[in-house]
């Protein structure tokens, strides 16, 4: 879906302005600002799901001799690449929206988690078979949400099952279904 949006966004007028805004000029003085570090840490915690227990619960099913370092680096690199890639998808469409409205890219939309629900539907609405793409996008968003919920549920269920293994004689699938 991101690749489709990048390809479509790159063909729109004003996409270059969005990419220029995204890449921006390097201003190292902002690294002195604590709020920048707070926002960066927040992004890392959201993207990697740190401290939610999902990764730990899922990794408990690995083989004992599994290469944890390789898995950790792979997860971090894939998450980083997806975030950068998604930024290009968003900012090509934001550049087009800014050109269409006659304002700067900074004035088009407010940042935050809701940005995807503004920019992606706008980009998808300009594609052939737009309703189909929009349905696929929102189905994808729902499945991403369900996936996050399943990892949270797995954390809770793995903890309960590991703690009360002797008392729970029912299969794990039945316990999860009841929960």
pLDDT at 107 (0 to 100): 86
Q: Is the pLDDT of residue 70 over 90?
A: yes
Any known ligand binding at 139?
no
Q: Taking the domains of the chain in order of start, what are their residue ranges?
A: 2-178
CB atoms within 10 A of CB 89: 23
Q: What is the pLDDT of residues 91-109, one digit of tens each?
A: 999 999 999 999 988 888 7
Q: Is the pLDDT of residue 178 over 70?
A: no
Q: How far apart are CA 156 and CA 160, in angstroms?
A: 6
pTM of the model: 0.76
Any known ligand binding at 144?
yes
What is the secondary structure of 23-39 as a DSSP string?
H----GGGGG-HHHHHH
What is the arithmetic mean of pLDDT over 18-36?
90
Q: How deeply is 168 buried, as exposed, middle or buried, from its count of CB atoms within 10 A (0-12, 13-18, 19+)?
A: middle
What is the arithmetic mean of pLDDT over 119-134?
88
What is the arithmetic mean of pLDDT over 85-96?
91
């Amino acid at each position: 879906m991101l690749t489709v949006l990048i390809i479509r966004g790159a063909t729109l007028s004003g996409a270059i302005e969005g990419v220029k805004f995204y890449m921006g000029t390097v201003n190292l003085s902002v690294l002195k600002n604590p709020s920048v570090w707070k926002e960066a840490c927040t992004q890392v915690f959201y993207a990697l799901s740190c401290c939610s227990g999902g990764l730990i619960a899922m990794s408990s099913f690995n083989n004992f001799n599994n290469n944890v370092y390789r898995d950790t680096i792979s997860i971090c690199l894939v998450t980083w690449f997806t975030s950068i890639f998604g930024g290009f998808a968003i900012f090509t469409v934001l550049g087009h929206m800014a050109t269409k409205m006659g304002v700067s890219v900074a004035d088009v939309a407010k940042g935050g988690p809701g940005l995807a629900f503004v920019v992606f539907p706008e980009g998808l609405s300009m594609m052939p078979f737009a309703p189909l793409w929009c349905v696929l996008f929102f189905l994808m968003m729902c499945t991403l949400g369900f996936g996050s919920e399943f990892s949270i549920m797995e954390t809770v269920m793995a903890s309960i099952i590991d703690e009360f293994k002797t008392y729970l004689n029912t299969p794990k699938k039945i316990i999860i279904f009841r929960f």
